[in-house]
């Protein structure tokens, strides 16, 4: 499926046309800060895993059939509803539930981002157990970290954020924070709260506060759906370091986000395809860019939404008539919002400063 870049007749004196725009956006060094591992697996990798499983035992073959039906769904779907988006992960999870497959997908996802010009990546993933393969949350984290450290990609550096799913109990949320603390020296930089916003209420404030108190960074999926003001206010009391989406917010809460300069991970294609934002032109990044509010273009689930990060840059450029310099500045400023330490920020700024288109 071809990535969505609106306004295909886009002609700009500086870029020349859509192909040149995409080329520039791919070459541009970029920072990816909001990428869910299991939503970022390329269709090719998923198909390879499904085919291996189809040749396996009956139970595994069933899982593979489920994954293939997800792939078919992806081929024809141009829009989702958040309500039919989340159940798809059940099928993907059936293919990523053992350690060897996990290493395979992490290597593939890092390589995809590197090939797309990403020079620093914060992958996020939800630690999970799977009794059928002996996978535990701890083994999950260890395996993903091991895969990150053995990735053959050399032009990109990768860190891990551990995701708490809204459906997790407060105890499981605490367990995930404890894992993040334990593995912080091995590449875990923070904790995220994600998952289906319709499925459960916000119930892990203590865990997130513990993460903050331990010096870990915190990012929260905030205001993904309408009418959750009380929940969003409570989430902001955690003083998160970044926010995911921040789509639906009261004027008062948005003013707070702006005043506190809390960086927002913006996922334009994801929001439009999931119909939480009605068009690219009306995306809330427009106002944030006008106010010079820290905003980071991100993919969310690049494979499900068929949009690599370079396409998100091209989308922003074509929607808001941005120049090459503005795209470069946007990507360079994203360095300020990464969860890694100041040495890594300095190193990255050096990479940007020596880049020539
Ligand atoms: C909220 C999302 C999401 O963690 O298993 N996830 N949560 N909003 C979104 N955008 C619309 N996209 C993905 O990756 C898959 C998990 O990430 C969360 C969901 O909980 C999904 O199960 P990991 O690697």
Find the 185 Cα to ligand 1 centroid distance in Å: 25
**pLDDT at residue 2 is higher than 50:** no
Q: Which of 35, 37, 39 to probe ligand 1 with, by most ligand atoms within 8 A of CB? A: 39
Q: Whose CA is nearest to atom 19 of ligand 1?
A: 195
Decide if the complex's ipTM is over 0.90: yes
Q: Per-residue pLDDT for 53 more than 80?
A: no
Model confidence at 76, in pLDDT bands (50, 70, 90)? low
For residues 249-276, average pLDDT:
96
The answer to whether 46 and 95 are in contact (CB under 8 A) is: yes
Stretch among 63-72, 99-108, 152-161, 254-263 having the lowest mean pLDDT: 63-72
Q: What is the DSSP string of 173-233?
A: HHHHHHHHHHTGGGTEEEEEEES-TTT-----HHHHHHHHHTT-EEEEEE--SSS-HHHHH
Predicted pLDDT of residue 7: 57
- In this structure, of 94-98, 158-162, 342-346, the range with the lowest mean pLDDT score is 94-98
The answer to whether residue 224 is catalytic is yes
What residue ranges line ligand 1, CB within 6 angstroms?
A: 36-39, 85, 89, 125-126, 163, 165, 194-195, 221, 224, 270, 274, 300-301
Cβ–Cβ under 8 Å, residues 140 and 123: no
Sheet holding 157-165, edge to edge: 30-36, 118-125, 157-165, 188-194, 217-222, 242-245, 263-266, 295-297
- Burial status of residue 86 (CB atoms within 10 A of its CB: 0-12, 13-18, 19 or more): middle
- 40-50, pLDDT tens digit by residue? 999 899 888 88
Instruction: Give the range among 81-85, 299-303, 324-328 with minimum mean pLDDT.
Output: 81-85
Mean residue pLDDT of the chain comes to 92
pLDDT digits (tens, 9 = 90+) for 191-222: 999 999 999 999 999 999 999 999 999 999 99
Among 222, 301, 302, the mutation site with the greatest number of ligand 1 atoms within 8 A of its Cβ is 301
Interval between CA 351 and ligand 1 midpoint (Å): 30
Q: What separation in Å is there between the alpha carbon of 135 and the centre of ligand 1?
A: 19
Rounded distance from Cα 45 to ligand 1 centre (Å): 18
How much is the pTM? 0.95
Of these residues, 60, 224, 265, 312, which one is catalytic?
A: 224
How much is the average pLDDT of 276-280? 93
Of 24-38, 62-76, 120-134, give the lowest mean pLDDT range: 62-76
Pairwise CA distance, residues 158 & 102, whole Å: 16
Residue to probe by mutation, ligand 1, list 163, 204, 269, 272, most atoms within 8 Å of CB = 163
Q: Is the pLDDT of residue 117 over 50?
A: yes
For residues 303 and 108, give the distance between their C-alpha atoms in angstroms, rounded to a whole number: 12
């Amino acid at each position: 499926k071809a990535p969505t870049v609106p306004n295909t007749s886009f002609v700009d004196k500086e870029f020349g046309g859509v192909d040149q725009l995409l080329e520039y956006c791919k070459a541009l060094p970029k920072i990816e800060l909001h990428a869910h591992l299991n939503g970022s697996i390329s269709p090719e990798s998923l198909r390879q895993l499904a085919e291996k499983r189809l040749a396996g035992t009956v139970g595994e073959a069933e899982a593979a059939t489920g994954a293939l039906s997800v792939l078919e769904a992806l081929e024809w779907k141009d829009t989702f509803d958040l309500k039919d988006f989340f159940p798809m992960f059940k099928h993907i999870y059936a293919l990523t539930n053992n350690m060897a497959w996990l290493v395979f997908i992490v290597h593939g996802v890092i390589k995809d981002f590197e090939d797309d010009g990403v020079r620093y990546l914060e992958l996020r993933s939800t630690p999970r157990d799977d009794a059928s393969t002996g996978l535990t949350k701890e083994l999950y984290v260890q395996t993903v970290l091991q895969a990150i450290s053995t990735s053959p990609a050399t032009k990109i550096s990768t860190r891990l954020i551990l995701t708490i799913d809204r459906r997790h109990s407060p105890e499981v949320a605490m367990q995930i924070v404890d894992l993040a603390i334990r593995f912080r020296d091995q590449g875990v930089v923070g904790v995220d709260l994600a998952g289906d916003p319709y499925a459960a209420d916000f119930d892990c404030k203590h865990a997130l506060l513990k993460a903050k108190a331990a010096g870990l960074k915190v990012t929260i999926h905030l205001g993904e759906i309408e009418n959750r003001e009380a929940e969003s206010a409570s989430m902001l009391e955690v003083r998160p370091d970044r926010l995911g989406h921040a789509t639906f917010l009261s004027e008062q809460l948005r003013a707070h986000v702006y005043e506190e300069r809390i960086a927002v991970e913006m996922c334009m294609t994801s929001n439009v395809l999931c119909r939480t934002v009605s068009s690219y032109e009306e995306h809330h990044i427009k106002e944030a860019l006008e106010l010079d509010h820290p905003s980071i273009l991100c993919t969310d689930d690049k494979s499900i939404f068929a949009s690599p990060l370079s396409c998100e840059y091209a989308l922003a450029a074509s929607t808001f008539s941005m120049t090459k310099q503005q795209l470069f500045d946007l990507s360079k400023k994203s360095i300020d919002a990464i969860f890694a330490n100041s040495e890594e920020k300095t190193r990255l700024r050096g990479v940007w400063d020596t880049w020539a288109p």
